[in-house]
A and B are shown apart, each in its own frame.
Chain A
Amino acid sequence: MKNHTVHHAATAGAVLFAGLFAVTAPVHAADLTPQEKALVPLAMKEGSVTIINPLFSDETANKLGPAFIKYYGLGNDFKFNNLRKGTGQVVAQVRQEIQAGRFTVDVILVSAPGFFDEAAKRGAFEKLDSGHWKNHIDLAKQAGQYSSYPHVVVPLAYTFQPVWNSSCPGMENFKAESYADVVQPSLKGKTIASDITKSFTYTNTELSLMEAGVDTNTMWNKLKATEPIVEFRTEPKMQMVISCQRPLDMWNLSGRVYQNVLKKPELAKILKIGSYKEGQVMLGNQAAVIKGSPHPNAGKLLLEFLLSKTGTDVVVVGEAVNSFLKGYQPPEVAKPYLLDLSKHKLLGLKDWVGAQKQFKPVRDAWLERFK
């Protein structure tokens, strides 16, 4: 997907979302895996589940919860809670709860291999017995993603792509196909620097690029010369792009474009999404059920749902993220926002866990330039 314009997919998206929700009918018990069948009554007894993550918007959560409840027939009284915080805050809250032995969330979903590995070693996660993970493991491994079954799985992944507003002054003919394109001197006053000091995923993206031979030192120097605004969250960065405050963000999510197009369909004509020939860094979002959590069985069932085709559809349509589900065909409406993985060079890290040791020097060097 290069420089494609996302045409009026918004209305279709809303319709499909509604459609998806409608078809998420309670499945016949025969369609469930044995593991799901065993978990359903236990989850019903627990009556609630809370997932903490940095990704799911309110719109997605408002669909995901009812779809999950309906799919397994958990009943109207069952409560689904989505707690969205920044990537660091997600890890911080769960880590602090593990240390304190006081648990308020059941499932954690975030891209933080170092944290998951360390927590799994400390026995902080429930042992999973998934009926769906076997359908994901091969592609996840091929994409070089970290997982640690039976404790940690990776239900989805995203990648940072260049996003720009072609209606802003000077951006009419802009195209982003390589990192050189997004740090050109002509972009002075138009760029955003993603604050890698506050994010695992930005830092891992830089480390992956470094491992792939991209000269990030030169890249940052050139970006610095464009006098970027430093911002962390993808949503405020998207706002800057939409309003022309900063018409180009070199690392945003195609899902954010999609979510804003839903709010105002005309944006589909002016918001563009590019990709990098140097390679796209796939950032798998690991997930686990926290040992000692108040609703461990409901947590395990939610993970099963996220790994199932139905759950994947809900998340892919809501957030335009990638799935490692074997043979998965994303719904048409989400396709314009998803990278065709077969047509792009995908990057990962040889050692996701070990990479965390490089966080400090990489971030210090970044800080030296941008703050």
Chain B
Amino acid sequence: MRTGAALGTPRAAPAEGRWRSLITQESVTTVLASLVIAVVVLLPLATMVVSSFRVLDGFGFSAHWGMDNYRAMVNDRIIAKAFLNTLIISTGSTLLATVLGVSLAWINARTNCPWREKLEPYNLVPFFLSPFVGAIAWHDLASPKIGLLNAWARDYLGVQGHLLNVDNIYGIIWVTGIFFTPLVYLFVVGSLRRMDPSLEDSARTTGAGLLRTTLTVTLPLVLPGILSGAIIVFVTSAGEFGVPFKLGTPYGWETLTTQIFSKAVGDDANYFMGAAMSMSLGVITAFLVWVQQRIIAPREFTTVTGKGFRPNVIDLGKWKWLALGYNLAFVLFAVVIPLLGLLIVSLHPVWQGRIIPADLTLQNYARVLFWWQGNHIQAATNGIGNSIILAFAGATIAMALAIPVSYMIHRTKGYGSRMLDFLCVVPIGFPGIVLAMGVLITYIKTPIYATLWILLLGYITRFFPYGQRNISSIMLAISEELDQSSRMAGASWFTTLKRVTLPLLKPGIFAGWVLLFIIFLRELPISIILYSSGTETLSVGVYYLSNFENEPLTAALSIVQTVILLVCIVVFRRLAGREALTA
């Protein structure tokens, strides 16, 4: 490693040494990592664009070029309805998640609500759990005829018919909304905590009350954070597959993701049609993410000043108990009650819509856990092992790539770094099921097809940006002077990276790794497209049991998945501290 080259003094290098000066540890590592990302992201998307213009024949063996897929899509009444449903669900979920997320963040960050510090991690739990499992749980609780809550309402309140019904578009909005509430919460709570209190003080001194100050000063100041969170929830809801698959499709409510799944791997199994539909959904969601990243996000945190201050904690008086009740109700409905419902169902051999004490058994847990038993469910036992392998390997590889990529984005200048930054945003805009289609079509003829590697590739392609953003946020806060000092003292790029940069990035790397580990443990839309015999994942196992076995077995594996995720969260908190969860 030549210090001169690293310090950017090419004039001193002789002409014949110029090429050699370009080939440094730094350039080779960053360029290679960037190329990997470019190929991994662009190849599936390009393949999907091309595939969307391939038209399959009646028997599905031959194809020709044409616009028929797009024409069929436009003329298909079901797809049009699915598109409309997707918009309604995304809008409804976004509104629900925003109202819940902002109010909970405000209670937690700016009021004297009792136990608010203790409750914060519980507010975030739904983010780490599987929405598909949430849908299964709510179906078991509030399905009109077999829901536990409805059964109790009939038995104890004398209700005729049913009290609740989640097997419709409102149920999808409800479950998606509560599960994505933490996303808005996370976007808003930081801004609220860092807000300069003098802005609110000014309003209060002019006679504005608590409500008016909150509505006219506090909320507008955190509006960019709210909008960012809302857009991410909108996009994530549009790409959500598990919830509408469980609560919508059987009851006549199709969405774009359920239609993509149906068209791509249903009876007609037309991947090219699936690609055309995926492109349409992908373009919409990618545009919204672009708006969030380029227009809204740069406006965030403009209320944070350089002055040292402590944010105001508003005294709610007696209302603080109402705030506490509101927060507890969220935790109860989002986490506790659904899990209890799942647990009850999982203890029955078959679910008949009511608790039958004489039937209670742990047999379902034995079948999904004990792989050595003759009557085990292979998709479940395989799924547990595979998911842990994929989560560990995927998070590690993704974070290893994220370090040089973030370095290139933030420590180098020019078109390459801007392009790479853009590439790291692209996958966020494409729902998992869409990217999985691209990955499948691209790699089906390669040896990685039907192996864990293709799932790993799909996971990293889709979620790599999450880890990269974690590192970026810390890298932006570290002055380049630290690196330069090390290099001037004669350390190579690798030595500087190892001794200076990486120790400083450690919290971001760890937080990103754990985030990816947890996301990979509960991932469904990519896995459902890419799995094969022996490569089932936990969520595929749940899907499999839901389709091919019965409700109690599905509930049992759902509980197992949830316990694994909760244990990961607890371990993560122990290792990284409370703040890391909201970092």
The prevalent SS among residues of A at the interface is: helix
B 539-555 binary contact with A (CB < 8 Å = 1; else 0): 00000101111110000
Q: Is A57 an interface residue (CB 8 A)?
A: yes
Q: Is A211 an interface residue (CB 8 A)?
A: no
Q: Is B307 an interface residue (CB 8 A)?
A: no
Expressed in whole angstroms, the minimum distance between the Cβ of B117 and any Cβ of chain A is 42
Q: Which residues of B contact A119 (CB under 8 A)?
A: 61
* CB < 8 Å neighbour of B550 from A59, A118, A235, A367: A235
| In the complex, chain A residues 37-80 whose Cβ is within 8 Å of any chain B Cβ | 50, 52, 57-59, 61-62
In the complex, the answer to whether A245 meets B267 with C-beta atoms within 8 Å is no
Q: Which residues of B contact A81 (CB under 8 A)?
A: 533-534
Q: Is A115 an interface residue (CB 8 A)?
A: yes
In the complex, the answer to whether A101 meets B445 with C-beta atoms within 8 Å is yes
In the complex, the answer to whether B547 meets A245 with C-beta atoms within 8 Å is no
When C-beta atoms are compared, the residue in chain A nearest to B552 turns out to be A263
Q: Which residues of B contact A84 (CB under 8 A)?
A: 544, 548
Q: Which residues of B contact A100 (CB under 8 A)?
A: 444-445, 449
**Given A89-B269, A200-B267, is A260 in contact with B444 using a C-beta cutoff of 8 Å?**
no
The answer for the CA separation of A243 and B266 in the assembled complex, in Å, is: 27
Q: Is B197 an interface residue (CB 8 A)?
A: no
Q: Is B252 an interface residue (CB 8 A)?
A: yes
The answer for the CA separation of A50 and B535 in the assembled complex, in Å, is: 13
* CB < 8 Å neighbour of A233 from B145, B449, B548: B548
In the complex, the answer to whether A198 meets B349 with C-beta atoms within 8 Å is no
The answer for the CA separation of A203 and B61 in the assembled complex, in Å, is: 20
Q: Is A135 an interface residue (CB 8 A)?
A: no
* CB < 8 Å neighbour of B449 from A91, A98, A104, A263: A104
The answer for the CA separation of A245 and B551 in the assembled complex, in Å, is: 12
In the complex, the answer to whether B268 meets A88 with C-beta atoms within 8 Å is yes
The answer for the CA separation of A62 and B387 in the assembled complex, in Å, is: 23
In the complex, the answer to whether B351 meets A243 with C-beta atoms within 8 Å is yes
**Given A83-B533, A89-B269, is A260 in contact with B143 using a C-beta cutoff of 8 Å?**
no
Q: Which residues of A contact B344 (CB under 8 A)?
A: none
The prevalent SS among residues of B at the interface is: loop
In the complex, the answer to whether B351 meets A230 with C-beta atoms within 8 Å is no
The answer for the CA separation of A89 and B261 in the assembled complex, in Å, is: 10
Q: Is B271 an interface residue (CB 8 A)?
A: yes
Among B371-379, B394-402, B573-581, the stretch that binds chain A is B371-379
Q: Which residues of A contact B444 (CB under 8 A)?
A: 96-97, 100, 102
The answer for the CA separation of A57 and B553 in the assembled complex, in Å, is: 13
In the complex, the answer to whether A244 meets B533 with C-beta atoms within 8 Å is no
Expressed in whole angstroms, the minimum distance between the Cβ of A97 and any Cβ of chain B is 8
In the complex, the answer to whether B548 meets A57 with C-beta atoms within 8 Å is yes
In the complex, the answer to whether B266 meets A89 with C-beta atoms within 8 Å is yes
The answer for the CA separation of A99 and B269 in the assembled complex, in Å, is: 13
In the complex, the answer to whether A357 meets B549 with C-beta atoms within 8 Å is no
| Interface size bracket, A side | 35 or more
**Given A104-B450, A243-B351, is A58 in contact with B269 using a C-beta cutoff of 8 Å?**
no
The answer for the CA separation of A370 and B78 in the assembled complex, in Å, is: 11
In the complex, the answer to whether B145 meets A245 with C-beta atoms within 8 Å is yes
The answer for the CA separation of A61 and B446 in the assembled complex, in Å, is: 29
When C-beta atoms are compared, the residue in chain B nearest to A233 turns out to be B547
In the complex, the answer to whether B532 meets A104 with C-beta atoms within 8 Å is yes
Expressed in whole angstroms, the minimum distance between the Cβ of B264 and any Cβ of chain A is 8
Q: Which residues of A contact B375 (CB under 8 A)?
A: 58-59, 62
In the complex, the answer to whether B267 meets A243 with C-beta atoms within 8 Å is no
Q: Which residues of A contact B265 (CB under 8 A)?
A: 88-89, 92
The answer for the CA separation of A102 and B478 in the assembled complex, in Å, is: 48
| In the complex, chain B residues 411-450 whose Cβ is within 8 Å of any chain A Cβ | 444-446, 449-450
In the complex, the answer to whether A88 meets B548 with C-beta atoms within 8 Å is no
When C-beta atoms are compared, the residue in chain A nearest to B262 turns out to be A198
* CB < 8 Å neighbour of A244 from B353, B532, B549, B550: B353
When C-beta atoms are compared, the residue in chain A nearest to B536 turns out to be A83
| In the complex, chain B residues 344-388 whose Cβ is within 8 Å of any chain A Cβ | 349-353, 359, 374-379
| In the complex, chain A residues 197-249 whose Cβ is within 8 Å of any chain B Cβ | 197-200, 203, 229-231, 233, 235-236, 238-239, 242-246
Q: Is A28 an interface residue (CB 8 A)?
A: no
Expressed in whole angstroms, the minimum distance between the Cβ of A112 and any Cβ of chain B is 9
**Given A230-B250, A235-B547, is A91 in contact with B533 using a C-beta cutoff of 8 Å?**
no
When C-beta atoms are compared, the residue in chain B nearest to A89 turns out to be B265
B 515-543 binary contact with A (CB < 8 Å = 1; else 0): 00000000000000000111000000000
The answer for the CA separation of A115 and B547 in the assembled complex, in Å, is: 24
| In the complex, chain B residues 463-507 whose Cβ is within 8 Å of any chain A Cβ | none
In the complex, the answer to whether A244 meets B269 with C-beta atoms within 8 Å is no
Q: Is B60 an interface residue (CB 8 A)?
A: yes
Q: Is B200 an interface residue (CB 8 A)?
A: no
Expressed in whole angstroms, the minimum distance between the Cβ of A81 and any Cβ of chain B is 5
In the complex, the answer to whether B548 meets A244 with C-beta atoms within 8 Å is no
In the complex, the answer to whether A231 meets B250 with C-beta atoms within 8 Å is yes
Q: Which residues of A contact B379 (CB under 8 A)?
A: 58
Expressed in whole angstroms, the minimum distance between the Cβ of B274 and any Cβ of chain A is 10
In the complex, the answer to whether B269 meets A264 with C-beta atoms within 8 Å is no
Q: Is A252 an interface residue (CB 8 A)?
A: no
The answer for the CA separation of A327 and B379 in the assembled complex, in Å, is: 37
Q: Which residues of B contact A233 (CB under 8 A)?
A: 547-548
Expressed in whole angstroms, the minimum distance between the Cβ of A47 and any Cβ of chain B is 15
Expressed in whole angstroms, the minimum distance between the Cβ of B425 and any Cβ of chain A is 31
* CB < 8 Å neighbour of B267 from A87, A101, A231, A260: A87
The answer for the CA separation of A17 and B269 in the assembled complex, in Å, is: 36
- Most chain A Cβ neighbours within 10 Å, of B78, B143, B250: B250
The answer for the CA separation of A236 and B550 in the assembled complex, in Å, is: 7
Query: Would you give 17 A-B contacts (Cβ < 8 Å), ordered by A?
Result: A57-B549, A86-B266, A87-B267, A88-B269, A91-B60, A96-B269, A97-B444, A104-B450, A118-B61, A198-B262, A203-B267, A238-B550, A242-B351, A242-B352, A245-B145, A356-B58, A371-B254
Other A-B contacts than A57-B548, A118-B61, 14 sampled, CB-CB below 8 A, are: A58-B375, A62-B375, A62-B376, A82-B378, A91-B267, A91-B269, A96-B444, A102-B450, A104-B532, A243-B353, A245-B144, A260-B550, A356-B59, A367-B78
Q: Which residues of B contact A (CB under 8 A)?
A: 58-61, 77-78, 81, 143-146, 249-252, 254, 262, 265-269, 271, 349-353, 359, 374-379, 444-446, 449-450, 532-534, 544, 546-551
7 nearest A-B residue pairs (beta carbon): A92-B269, A88-B267, A83-B533, A104-B450, A118-B59, A243-B146, A243-B353
Q: Which residues of A contact B (CB under 8 A)?
A: 50, 52, 57-59, 61-62, 81-84, 86-89, 91-93, 95-102, 104-105, 114-115, 118-119, 122, 197-200, 203, 229-231, 233, 235-236, 238-239, 242-246, 260, 263-264, 267, 356-357, 367, 370-371
